[in-house]
């Protein structure tokens, strides 16, 4: 669980409910697998990543990978990476349905993401 506090509230978020986090200036929007969005966070993406590093075990933290400067994505839901189309597709299966969500990113960022996911996959196979 990730706990995010600000002056007005405390938010408790289950890790498996986070699809991705998107930076928007001095704010972050947290996109959830159920389609919801938490968009009242007055934290930059780097601050959210720092909170995750502090609060989560190394194993849990590994499933979240940076994508460029704007995104922190949950690799558990990545379905397709298409650098040539500058497109990342997530797939969320729930209650017998399959919902897909796309985000745009640079080809370079998507290629780096593919390398990170390959590295994580290799580490998982070794253990």
Residue 124, pLDDT > 80, answer: no
pLDDT digits (tens, 9 = 90+) for 77-118: 999 999 999 999 998 876 656 678 899 999 999 999 999 888
Distance CA 80, CA 63 (A): 16
* Residues 6+ away with beta carbon under 8 Å from 10: 3, 4
Mind spelling out the 3-state secondary structure of 3-19?
EEECCCCEEEECHHHEE
Half-sphere exposure of 127 (CA within 13 A, CB side): 6
For residues 45 and 1, which has the higher predicted lDDT (pLDDT)?
1
The yes-or-no verdict on residue 4 having pLDDT over 60 is yes
pLDDT surpassing 60 at residue 127: no
28 beta partners? 23, 41
- Give the pLDDT confidence of 36-57 residue by residue, as tens digits: 898 766 777 788 888 888 998 8
The fraction of the chain above a pLDDT of 70, given in percent, is 91
Q: Do residues 45 and 69 touch, judged by C-beta distance below 8 A?
A: yes
Closest by CA position to 20, among listed 88, 72, 65: 72
For the entire predicted model, the pTM comes to 0.85
Query: Which pLDDT score is estimated for 97?
Result: 61
């Amino acid at each position: 669980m990730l706990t995010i506090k600000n002056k007005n509230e405390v938010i408790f978020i289950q890790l498996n409910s986070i699809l991705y986090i998107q930076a928007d200036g001095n704010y972050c929007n947290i996109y959830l697998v159920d389609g919801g969005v938490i968009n009242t966070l007055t934290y930059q993406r780097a601050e959210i990543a720092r909170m995750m590093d502090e609060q989560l075990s190394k194993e849990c933290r590994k499933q979240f990978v940076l994508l460029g400067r704007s995104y922190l994505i949950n690799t558990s839901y990545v379905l397709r990476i298409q650098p040539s189309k500058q497109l990342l597709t997530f797939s969320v299966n729930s209650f017998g349905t399959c919902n897909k969500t796309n985000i745009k990113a640079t080809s370079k960022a998507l290629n780096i993401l593919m390398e990170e996911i390959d590295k994580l996959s290799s580490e998982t196979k070794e253990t």
